[in-house]
Structures are given as structure tokens and as C-alpha cells.
Structure 1
Amino acid sequence: MLHRLMIFTMRMLCAFLVALQFLTSLPVRLASMPDEKTLGHSLLFYPLVGLIIGWILALLCGLLDTSPPLVAAAVLTASWILLTGGLHLDGLADSADAWVGGMGDTDKTLAIMKDPHCGAAGVTAVILLVLLKFAALHTLIIAQQGIVIIYAAVLARALVVLLFLTTPYVRNPGLGATLANHQPYVLNTLVVTTTPVLLVYLTSFDYIWLLFAAAVIFLLLRRLMIQRIHGTTGDTTGALVEISELGIILTAVLWILD
């Protein structure tokens, strides 16, 4: 019994490090390549990694409190991108190119998504998203609402877990396929259901509208994925993270802080 508990604990620790290494640019190094089951279990820790990302950014937001708001917003936006290694922005760009260039055709959309080059639609999508995030962060800094950043980072990554729970992964092979095929369904369901409850419980019911914003964004984007490619890919998952983060902080700026 003790031996099994130790194995499970080591697997969970390794899974956490896999999630931290994949989702951030923090200096995390694994001693060896994890097995497929450990990769699947790494999904469990996506919201926790989101909490780490959000906490670092919120701390930076506090440290920049005496700086000019425009400069602080620029530093915070750049730090957000650097901390995540631009991973999800790449997915957003590829998805935008594919959706525009695919012209409603599933196979063409998936083919364009595999193209490593970035087209006009992808560049435009990234510029618009970064610009809107910068403007929203400027307002959050003035209002001293760094906690919204934590909400955005945590909920966006919880939505990734929900996406893998509810949506077919349509590209094989790859990391996404491994995550989908080896995810722990019961534990992932527990993570998805408890994460928003804990966020509200530990902060304030004033932010409950951010949960509704995240849910609406998820449902809309998932519907677009199902309609166009009958599932999800790594790129559309990255787009989900970026768009949901932006949608959550914009909701805070336009609704809660209005």
C-alpha cells in the first residue's frame, strides 16, 4: 500500500513538473522523458500552473503600482507573453489563419493549421489580442485589481481541461493526442468543478461574473471548433487560452469595474 502511494505521489509530482515545463518558460528540467500516463495526468495541474502564472503577474502588478500606468501595462503585457513563451499566441495565430483560409472546409482548415508560416490573419489576430490585453491591463493596474489576472490565468487553463474532457482531439499523433487518450477523466472532472468554486470562495462573490464570462467563451469557441473541424487541436486549444484570458479581463474592466 505504501509502495503504491509513493509511486502515485511521484507520478503526480512529475505530472506537475511536465505541466509547468510545457505551459511556462520557467527553468524546469525533467530527469527523463515522462511516460504517456504521466503526460495525461499533467492536465490535472493546468489550473495550478495558471495560479502560479497569475500570482507572478499579480505580484508584478503590485510592484509596478508606483510606475506610470502605461509603462506598467506594457511591462505586464510583455511579462505575460514571456512567462508563457508565446505558446498560446502561436496557437491563436495558426487558428486565425486556418479559419480564414480554410473557407469553411474541414480538411483545408486542418492543413493550414499545420503550416509553420504565419499569414496576415494570424498576425492581425495576435496584434489585436495583445493590444486589447494591454488596454485592459492598464485599467486593472489603475484600479489595483491584480486579482483579475489570477482569475484569467487559472480559468483559462481550467477550460483546457474541460475542452479535453468534452471534445474529441482530431489530430494524431502528438502531445495533444497523448493528453486526450491518457487523461484521468474522474480527477479531471473534479478539477474542473472545484477550481471555480475555490476561486470564488477564496476571493469574493464580486468576481463571480468572470466565471460566467469564461463559460460563455468556452461554449462559443467549442461550438466553432465542432462545426469547423469536428473537435480540437493543439492550436485551437492555445487560441482558447488566449481568447478566454482576454475575455475574462475585459469582462472585469467593462462590467465589474464599470
Structure 2
Amino acid sequence: MNVRGLTLALQFLTRLPTPQVEDFRAEDLSRSADWFPLVGLLIGGCVAAGVWAGSHGTQWLGALVGLVIWVWITGALHIDGLGDVADALAAAHRTPERFLEVLRDPHIGAFGAIAIVLLLMAKLVLLAEISHSSTLVALVLVPAWARWGTLVWSSTVPPLASGTGERFSWRISQLSTIAQGIGLAVLSIWLAPVLLSALIVVPALSLYWRMRLGGITGDCLGASVEVTETLLLVGVVLAASKTL
């Protein structure tokens, strides 16, 4: 891993200002993926800080501030993928060809719009639930686990078509993926053991894409990130409720 890879990971996953990268090559995108969990920690830190600051007013204000930061800092990259996948799955009827056909349509349909609205509502409520909880620090790890998931999904599920999903899998280091998973697990044991459920959620999504479509695309990766984040937030909220 190098600074060039970190810069590209920040450019791809966030709207944060970064130095210009010259002589971009297709394989650089895959190499930058090793930095995704670290960028996820940065995103989680910004969101947690926003929730904490806003919650000095009310818990709902904290949740709203955190959600706005979350959407802004990521440029709604993965939310867009969720909407596209929701539309495509609704029309696919287990046919990968039809799935890809709908996925390429730039217009959002009813299922995509509903999925996005429900996701944002869910995150808003969940952020409000943890805004005054001692488990708020766990929020830092949630985006990191989800972006670690992109390494696992790209390595274990074949690409369904050429594109971003395919380019990710070219040079992803399995050793780095395992090492980062161990690092996140150690942090989770220390800060929020419930987040170890990511070790179940991430492989389960790999199995889902294999059984549902037999492959994965860049939009599927984005949708999986959103689903993983939401499920982990649910886990954090449930764990916090049991300690009250």
C-alpha cells in the first residue's frame, strides 16, 4: 500500500479534497482498494463527530447532521448503487441478462426510489437511537467494516460484467484483506463486540450474490455496502438497548 493508493481510494470513496493523481492506470483502482477500510474509518469518524455535535441539541438533530455528513462525504455513491440494484432485481426474475439490462438504464424506477427512501429513514432512526449512547464510538467502525466487505465480495464472487466490479478484483491482496479483517475484529472486540457480526453479514452477502445472480457488479458492491452498514447499525442499537 502507498500514498498514491490512499489518494485514489479517497477520490473514489469520498468528496474530500485530495492531490491530483497523474498517469492513472486501470489497475490503480484495484490497488487502491487495500485502503478502503482505512477510508471507511475516516468516514465513520466524520459521521460520529457530526452525530455527537448535533446531539447537543436533540438526538434527532444529531442524527440528521450525521446522515447529511454521511451522504455528502460519500457523494451518495453506494446509495445510487442500491437504487439501481433494487430496480434491476425487481425486474430481473432471476435472469442475469435482464438484471444487467435494467442496471444500465440511467433512470430510477419505483423500487429504486423506495429502497433509497427506506434506507435513509432507517439510518436516520438508527443514528438517533445511538446519538446519546456510549456505543456512539462504534459508529466509527461501521463504514470500515462495510468497505472491508468490498474486498471480500470482489475476491469471492466473480464479476457479472465488465466494469468497476471487475476492475476491483484484479489486484486485491488476500493477505491484506485478512490482516485488515483481523485488525477490525480486534477494534470491535474493544469498542463494540456486536460489530463482529460483520464476519457473518459479509460472507452471507457473497453467498447471496452467488446464488441470486452468479456474479456481482459495481452497483451490487455499492448496494452491499449500504445493506451492511444498516444491519451493523441495527446490531449496535440492539446491543445498546440491552445495556440500558
Provide the TM-score with structure 1 as the length reference: 0.87
Unaligned runs of 5+ in 1: 1-10
Unaligned runs of 5+ in 2: none
**Aligned residue in 1 for 2:214:** 230
**Aligned residue in 2 for 1:62:** 52
For the 8 Å contact 1:168–1:232, the answer to whether it is kept is yes
Following TM superposition, by how much is the alpha carbon of 1:224 offset from its aligned partner in structure 2, in angstroms?
A: 2.3
**Aligned residue in 2 for 1:245:** 229
Would you say 1:71 and 2:56 are equivalent positions? no
Following TM superposition, by how much is the alpha carbon of 1:229 offset from its aligned partner in structure 2, in angstroms?
A: 2.0
* Distance (Å, rounded) in 2 between the aligned partners of 1:159 and 1:229: 18
Distance 1:219 1:189, change over 3 A: closer
**Aligned residue in 2 for 1:31:** 21
* Distance (Å, rounded) in 2 between the aligned partners of 1:243 and 1:33: 34
For 1:52-83, what per-residue CA distance to the aligned partner results, in whole angstroms no more than 9, with x for missing partners? Answer: 11111122222223111112211211111111
For 1:96-117, what per-residue CA distance to the aligned partner results, in whole angstroms no more than 9, with x for missing partners? Answer: 1111111121110121111111
Distance 1:66 1:23, change over 3 A: same
Following TM superposition, by how much is the alpha carbon of 1:144 offset from its aligned partner in structure 2, in angstroms?
A: 4.3
**Aligned residue in 2 for 1:195:** 183
| One-letter amino acid matched to 2:168 | L
Distance 1:54 1:245, change over 3 A: same
* Distance (Å, rounded) in 1 between the aligned partners of 2:176 and 2:139: 25
Following TM superposition, by how much is the alpha carbon of 1:176 offset from its aligned partner in structure 2, in angstroms?
A: 2.7
Local SS of the residue matching 2:2:
helix
**Aligned residue in 1 for 2:43:** 53
Local SS of the residue matching 1:169:
coil
Would you say 1:211 and 2:175 are equivalent positions? no
Following TM superposition, by how much is the alpha carbon of 1:188 offset from its aligned partner in structure 2, in angstroms?
A: 3.0
Distance 1:236 1:97, change over 3 A: same
Local SS of the residue matching 1:145:
helix
For 1:73-96, what per-residue CA distance to the aligned partner results, in whole angstroms no more than 9, with x for missing partners? Answer: 112111111110000001100111
**Aligned residue in 1 for 2:175:** 186
Distance 1:111 1:195, change over 3 A: farther
Q: 5 Å matches for 1:79-228? A: 79-172=69-162, 174-192=163-181, 194-200=182-188, 203-204=190-191, 207-212=192-197, 214-228=198-212
**Aligned residue in 1 for 2:9:** 19
* Distance (Å, rounded) in 2 between the aligned partners of 1:54 and 1:27: 17
Moved over 6 A (4+): none
Would you say 1:254 and 2:235 are equivalent positions? no
Provide the TM-score with structure 2 as the length reference: 0.92
**Aligned residue in 2 for 1:4:** none
C-alpha root-mean-square deviation of aligned residues, in Å? 1.7
Following TM superposition, by how much is the alpha carbon of 1:33 offset from its aligned partner in structure 2, in angstroms?
A: 3.8
* Distance (Å, rounded) in 1 between the aligned partners of 2:99 and 2:183: 33
**Aligned residue in 2 for 1:8:** none
Q: Tell me which structure has the larger Cα radius of gyration.
A: 1
Local SS of the residue matching 1:43:
helix
For the 8 Å contact 1:53–1:150, the answer to whether it is kept is yes
For the 8 Å contact 1:43–1:188, the answer to whether it is kept is no
Local SS of the residue matching 1:57:
helix
